[in-house]
Amino acid sequence: MRSTKEDVRGLFDDFARACGRKTTPWRTVKGKLTGVIGAWHLDYAPEYGGYVIEETVNVDGGVRRPFGEKRMASGVFFRAMQFALWSPLNRKPRRGSRRGKK
């Protein structure tokens, strides 16, 4: 399956929203750019292997990689986000289902 940058970006936005994260890492405060702490952004570097998610950790723009340092090619990254979003483990139980009951 071929995934374009637009496909990956759109799915990343859905994934971040589902996780309750903002996707804008910078904002302007009193004319100065400031990092949005806790915001996720998608870093892409094809020469190093592809995509990785970064999280802003301070107002100066420091980042960490909450899902690890390993970059993924676009198709692999796309399928990993699809799995995380639409996995049966993440769906709410249907009304009347026995899942979650003891």
- Tens of pLDDT, residue by residue over 28-61, are 999 999 999 999 999 999 899 899 999 999 999 8
The residue type of 101 is: K
- 3-state class (DSSP) for residue 100: coil
pLDDT at 97: 44
Helices (H), 2-88: 5-18, 74-86
Residue 99 belongs to a domain: no
pLDDT category at 2 given cuts 50, 70, 90 is confident
Residue 96 belongs to a domain: no
How many domains are there within the chain?
Answer: 1
Residue 65 belongs to a domain: yes
Neighbours of 56 (CB within 10 A): 22
Closest of 68, 53, 62 to residue 22, by C-alpha: 53
By residue range, what is the domain housing residue 67?
5-88
The model scores a pTM over 0.85: no
